[in-house]
A and B are shown apart, each in its own frame.
Chain A
Amino acid sequence: MRPSLAAFLLFAAMVVFAVIFAFSSASGSPAREPQQLSASPAPAVHPATTESKAASKQAASQPNGNKEHTFRGKVEKIDGSSGMLTVSGENVPGWMGPMTMNYHVEKPDNVTVKVGDHITAKVYDGDFTTLHEVRVVAAEPAVAGGLPPISYVCTARGEESVLEDKPGKCPQSGAPRVPVRIMTVYSCLKFESFIQETPGICPVDKSELVPITAGLYFTCKNDSQIHQLQPGKCADGGARIRGYERRPHGDHNPRHGGQLFMDEDNWHHLEGTWVRPKIFRVYFYNDMTQPLAANGFSARVAKSDASGNDIGAPIPLKAGKTAGGNTLELSIPGEALPAKFTLRVKFKPDDKERVFDFTFADYSKEPGLAAPASAGSGPSNTGAAPKSQTSGNSAAGASGSVSTPNPTSTATSQPQQPGSTPYVPTTIRPEEQLPTTTPELVAELAKRAQAVGKALDQGDLTGLWYPAIGAKDVALAIEENHISEITQDKRPKMTSAVRRLTMAAWEIDAAGDLGNKERLLPLYRDFSAAVADIESIYGSR
């Protein structure tokens, strides 16, 4: 129990990030249109046939006899290239807590789903990544009065990481912690003021809404100064309406169909795109994913091989021509798909170079339709502080503080009533249970380790953490519960291997977020060597 719980603690720690970041940046081909996982005939949805088959094969190889559970959840996203679903799952006692995760689908060719569908599936102990016998079902009734719990945060620069479950003072500034209700909501990708609690279509540019993390509060139509964490009545007798505040790192959705990474300074974010006619363009953002002028930035890019090694000398990028001045770019004629690049960036002349690896299976495509000029398309709010928004505000009318839903957006944004949307928790209390026998655990370790290698091969750098941390937890479970099954002389080697695997897994977690394949490769080497040692030890008992 302990190791599996620890694993999911980590999963939970990353869940919001993963929902928004990992999936959207993994393939470089965001699924902005409603998609189906299936199949006949929907060839554009699962172009990576081998991946789909691999997923199917993996599912079919589930250990028979493991305990079965019923899984319920809502499809948040479909990745046609990998055949994976992003599902906001409900609590499955004894298997997994409420969590939004990527899942493989058994027999994906037989499954037809679209974003927003509520599904059920069978899941089994020992496999936390595969959904079997997926079925679309009617939506569950809304949870009456469901509100995310109150957390307490610090807002001063450098203290944004503070997030407590009770009031108190911020450690550095001494300011009181601020209560917030954090939840997953859905926003227009480019018109950030439009937010609602359910997936849907952006009323401005008709693109698919993207999930973000925001703070929920309650305000009044006629008094935007009202900012409460509880529903209630306004002075005019009407009910308070819901409003949402964006949060730092709450939105890591690529803005231009590329791959978005966070720099190790946690402030700079960048999105690499590969656009016709063979231009590598990098967009820069701050921690609110607001465009960041590239003044003073320098970058070099080199083609890279499968191992992330440069092919030829890196070439400097030039200032792009986008309106916000937040891009650097370079024309790279002759590069074929899939295109692999290693980008080196300096945010100050005397700074060290930060390395990011990009793999583009296809050209990056701008999500959604072109925005109306009057709506201020493109990066127009550089440096602006996050604005408060109420549900249903359109982009055109939401550059200021809280305002009432305007008639244009109300019709399409389905303004929420208190309690009308099931609570999507951001704090996960998983109940995962790993297999108990040594052979099952060793097999589980091998499976999760293979998933790490696969993610690395496919350039899914931000998705590496999931199987890596999962493998670490399996290894800890083996060491804690099954080391007595090996001879005394092998135990030091086992202890050494688990220690190396634990550290490598956590470092893979960190390096994956930075998108630095060069840094990941030696970590993966250490990780794989430790896994091999464990397999060798238990294979030769």
Chain B
Amino acid sequence: MEAGKQFKRLMGSCVATGLAIVFFLVATQHIGAHTPVTSRYDYNRDVFPLFRDHCAVCHVEGGPAPMSLVTYKAAMPWAQSIRDELTAGRMPPWPVDPTSPPIKGGYPVSSRDIDVMVVWASGGTPENYTDAKPPEVAFNPKWQLGPPDLKIAMEGEHTVPPSAIEEVSEFSLPINLNETKWIKAADLMPGNPSMVRDAVISVENGPVLALWQPGGDTISAPSGAAFRLAPGSKIHLQIHYKKHFDQEQNAVSDKSTVGLYFTEPPPSGRELQSFAIDSPKSAGDAGASTPFENALQKAARIVALRPMLDRAYESLSVDAITPSGATVPLLRLHGPRPQWFQRYWLQEPVELASGSKIAVHVTPLADYSDEPVVTRKFPLQLVLDYVPL
């Protein structure tokens, strides 16, 4: 189910950020005009359960994605797009390679399930070989970790005017705390899910609490790790709005709410901190693997990694090289995209000695011609979230 959320999330964003491509794909659905119905997989029995489990968090009527995939009528016209997104690795938006150290959340879709969906999309999109009838699937947004300890709503509705299709807006949300709180997780409840593409939730002038994507997992920091929220702090909320294609000429409004989950103070009293490693410049020519690195100035327990990308890559790997020369893998991504930035929480935090080098290798895609235009991207950078030891 988690993977489904990711998939839906990816699809929504990809489509939203590449409407021109999507329209192109729809307009050229006749690609299969010479394709008889040859898929042994039908929609109702074989494909619907996959869409429901892996995509329906976003691709459902009323959801963040511009199209539903949980009815045959809605999904079938997108067959070519579905195939392209799946085979290019843009969907599902969970690029963690199976060889990576385990990451929390985001269960991947198996190769077989991808194959079933592609065979169906390529083989004439048959609806039903049996009497199977898919149940209705409804959009059901909810706080993933249950009711937050503190909800902080935007002070008013924010409207994206008809003249704009997308924008990034910044909001300062007062909290009115009079004591220090420790945060284990933060989440967002969009007021208008169809226009909130992603968000960055931070403590104003402080740490990043969450990189939020529709359908993404809300993960709690591991035991002993938490973000510190001092009295008088404010929440800084950055939201990337993007309208669905059928709303582009309209004024659309949102009033989102941030949810904070508190925890006990960590026994060490040390708050979660971050360490950024910037790429010196562009990652180089297509196909070339470009490393960049930096060394930890103090011993640390690494709990999460946040690659921020300037473009899509074929692969990204992060390793720690300890002072003794041992290499400790931290992350392996295959086909990460800049629009799906997220925090990867390590299943097992890694303790590193001071002076350990963090080496990042990225390999650009060999061919960018089919990549959608992405407006939401960042200078190439890796951020480590850690607890000082």
Q: Are B366 and A158 neighbours in the complex by a CB distance under 8 Å?
A: no
Q: Is A17 interfacial (CB-CB < 8 Å)?
A: yes
Q: Are B29 and A161 neighbours in the complex by a CB distance under 8 Å?
A: yes
Chain A residue at minimal CB-CB distance from B108: A499
Q: Are B79 and A427 neighbours in the complex by a CB distance under 8 Å?
A: no
Q: Are B36 and A182 neighbours in the complex by a CB distance under 8 Å?
A: yes
Within 95-146 of B, Cβ neighbours of A (below 8 Å) are at 97-100, 108, 111-112, 114-116, 118-119, 122-127
Report the separation of the CA atoms of residues A151 and B124 in the bound assembly, to the nearest whole angstrom: 11
Q: Which of B56-64, B82-90, B256-264 contacts A (4 or more CB under 8 A)?
A: B82-90
Within 1-58 of B, Cβ neighbours of A (below 8 Å) are at 24, 26-41
Name the contact of B38 in the complex, choosing from A12, A171, A523 (C-beta under 8 A).
A12
Name the contact of A163 in the complex, choosing from B26, B32, B86, B369 (C-beta under 8 A).
B32
The smallest C-beta distance from B115 to any residue of chain A, in angstroms, reads 6
Given contacts A495-B111, A502-B114, contact A427 B36 (CB under 8 A): yes
The smallest C-beta distance from A434 to any residue of chain B, in angstroms, reads 14
Q: Are B119 and A10 neighbours in the complex by a CB distance under 8 Å?
A: yes
**Mask of A1-32 contacts with B, CB within 8 angstroms, 1/0:** 01101100110111111000000000000000
Residues of A within 8 A of B39 (CB): 9, 13
Given contacts A161-B79, A507-B87, contact A495 B98 (CB under 8 A): yes
Name the contact of A249 in the complex, choosing from B33, B76, B112 (C-beta under 8 A).
B33
Q: Is A122 interfacial (CB-CB < 8 Å)?
A: no
Report the separation of the CA atoms of residues A287 and B99 in the bound assembly, to the nearest whole angstrom: 44
The smallest C-beta distance from B227 to any residue of chain A, in angstroms, reads 31
Q: Which of B24, B124, B334 has the most CB of A within 10 A?
A: B124
Q: Is A236 interfacial (CB-CB < 8 Å)?
A: no
Q: Are A163 and B87 neighbours in the complex by a CB distance under 8 Å?
A: no
Q: Are B40 and A522 neighbours in the complex by a CB distance under 8 Å?
A: no
Q: Are A6 and B40 neighbours in the complex by a CB distance under 8 Å?
A: yes
The smallest C-beta distance from B133 to any residue of chain A, in angstroms, reads 15
**Mask of B247-265 contacts with A, CB within 8 angstroms, 1/0:** 0000000000000000000
Q: Is A321 interfacial (CB-CB < 8 Å)?
A: no
Report the separation of the CA atoms of residues A172 and B118 in the bound assembly, to the nearest whole angstrom: 22
The smallest C-beta distance from B69 to any residue of chain A, in angstroms, reads 14
Q: Are A249 and B36 neighbours in the complex by a CB distance under 8 Å?
A: no
Report the separation of the CA atoms of residues A491 and B76 in the bound assembly, to the nearest whole angstrom: 35
Q: Which of A36-44, A71-79, A139-147, A472-480 contacts B (4 or more CB under 8 A)?
A: A472-480
Q: Are A172 and B77 neighbours in the complex by a CB distance under 8 Å?
A: yes
Q: Are A506 and B30 neighbours in the complex by a CB distance under 8 Å?
A: no
Q: Is A82 interfacial (CB-CB < 8 Å)?
A: no
Chain B residue at minimal CB-CB distance from A494: B98
Report the separation of the CA atoms of residues A522 and B88 in the bound assembly, to the nearest whole angstrom: 13
Residues of B within 8 A of A9 (CB): 38-41, 119, 123
Q: Is A443 interfacial (CB-CB < 8 Å)?
A: no
Given contacts A492-B98, A496-B98, A499-B98, contact A158 B123 (CB under 8 A): no
Name the contact of A427 in the complex, choosing from B26, B37, B98 (C-beta under 8 A).
B37
Chain A facing B: main interface SS: helix
Residues of B within 8 A of A498 (CB): 111
The smallest C-beta distance from B67 to any residue of chain A, in angstroms, reads 12
Q: Are A493 and B38 neighbours in the complex by a CB distance under 8 Å?
A: no
Q: Is B73 interfacial (CB-CB < 8 Å)?
A: yes
Report the separation of the CA atoms of residues A521 and B287 in the bound assembly, to the nearest whole angstrom: 12
Within 239-259 of A, Cβ neighbours of B (below 8 Å) are at 247-250, 252
Residues of A within 8 A of B367 (CB): 519, 522
Q: Are B40 and A247 neighbours in the complex by a CB distance under 8 Å?
A: no
Q: Are A287 and B33 neighbours in the complex by a CB distance under 8 Å?
A: yes
Report the separation of the CA atoms of residues A509 and B80 in the bound assembly, to the nearest whole angstrom: 13
Residues of A within 8 A of B41 (CB): 9
Chain B residue at minimal CB-CB distance from A493: B99
Q: Which of A162, A182, A247, A427 has the most CB of B within 10 A?
A: A162
Chain A residue at minimal CB-CB distance from B366: A522
Known: A171-B77, A495-B111, A506-B118. 12 other contacts (CB 8 A): A17-B34, A151-B37, A158-B29, A161-B80, A265-B24, A266-B33, A479-B111, A496-B97, A499-B114, A506-B87, A507-B88, A519-B367
8 A-B pairs closest in CB distance: A522-B366, A249-B34, A161-B32, A12-B38, A160-B33, A160-B30, A495-B98, A248-B33
Question: Taking beta carbons and an 8 Å cutoff, which residues of A are in contact with B?
Answer: 2-3, 5-6, 9-10, 12-17, 151, 157-165, 171-172, 182, 213, 247-250, 252, 265-267, 287, 352, 426-429, 472, 475-476, 479-480, 491-493, 495-496, 498-500, 502-503, 506-507, 509-510, 519, 521-523, 525
Question: Taking beta carbons and an 8 Å cutoff, which residues of B are in contact with A?
Answer: 24, 26-41, 73, 76-77, 79-80, 83-84, 86-89, 97-100, 108, 111-112, 114-116, 118-119, 122-127, 287, 334, 366-367, 369
A-B residue pairs in contact (CB < 8 Å), sample of 27: A9-B38, A10-B122, A10-B123, A13-B119, A13-B123, A151-B37, A161-B29, A161-B33, A162-B76, A163-B37, A163-B124, A171-B77, A247-B34, A249-B30, A265-B24, A426-B36, A427-B38, A428-B38, A475-B111, A491-B98, A498-B111, A499-B98, A499-B334, A502-B115, A509-B122, A510-B83, A519-B367
